[in-house]
Each structure stands twice: as structure tokens, then as C-alpha cells.
Amino acid sequence: MVPDLPKPVAAYVEANAQLDVDGMLKPFAADAVLSDNGKRHEGHAELRTLFEDEVIAVKAIFTPDAVRHEGGQVVVEGPAHGDFKGSPIRFTYRFTLENDAIKALEITV
């Protein structure tokens, strides 16, 4: 595990490792925006659906191995493994934090 992840990012990663949807949602602001491979999801209801359909259903667990701060964002990279084609796949997660919460997250391959 990568040390020194900001608290909301660490909480998200830890909940994801346990495939805990409620825990994954908790560090996100109520109006957070998540862009996953170009698809936009906004607010907890849309994020919950995304997590249930695209993470929990295929047991996708992201394991960060690099972190850096870039342009006001926390950029975290690492593989995700699970029951999906091509597993593991390396992802880049770009977190924008505001008031100790995740305001935006962009996920790219």
C-alpha cells in the first residue's frame, strides 16, 4: 500500500479493498463527479450504481503503488484486479479534494 494518501483517498482505497459500497461512497462529497473512461457520473446515487455494477459485480480491487501531487490533484496509479477481462489492468486515478472530501475523480487506463 502506498503511504501518505490523503485521508479521503485512503478511506476510498480501504473500502474498495473490502468491496464495501457504503464505505466507498462515504469519502465523496454529495455532489461529487466521477469520470470513468469518459463516462460521467454525478452524485451519490449515480456513484452507487457505478460501484455496484462496475466494481462489486466483478470484484475489482484497486491497489495503488504510486502517488503524486499534480496541478492541485492527488494522482494515484496502480493495478486493479478482479473477475474481468484483462485483469489486472493498470489505472490512473486523479482525485480532486475539497473540504476533506473527494469532489471529483477521473479514472483512466
pLDDT digits (tens, 9 = 90+) for 75-106: 999 999 999 999 999 999 999 999 999 999 99
* Whole-number Å distance between alpha carbons of 101 and 29: 6
- CA distance to 27, 71, 92, per residue, from 14 (Å): 11, 25, 17
Q: What is the pLDDT of residue 3?
A: 64
Q: What is the pLDDT of residue 58?
A: 98
Average confidence (pLDDT) over 46-71: 97
* Whole-number Å distance between alpha carbons of 109 and 97: 21
Count of beta carbons in the 10 Å neighbourhood of residue 99: 7
Q: What is the pLDDT of residue 2?
A: 61
Q: What is the pLDDT of residue 90?
A: 98
- pTM for the predicted model, two decimal places: 0.95
The answer to whether the bond into 64 is cis (omega within 30° of 0) is no
- Which residue type occupies 56? I
Average confidence (pLDDT) over 12-33: 98
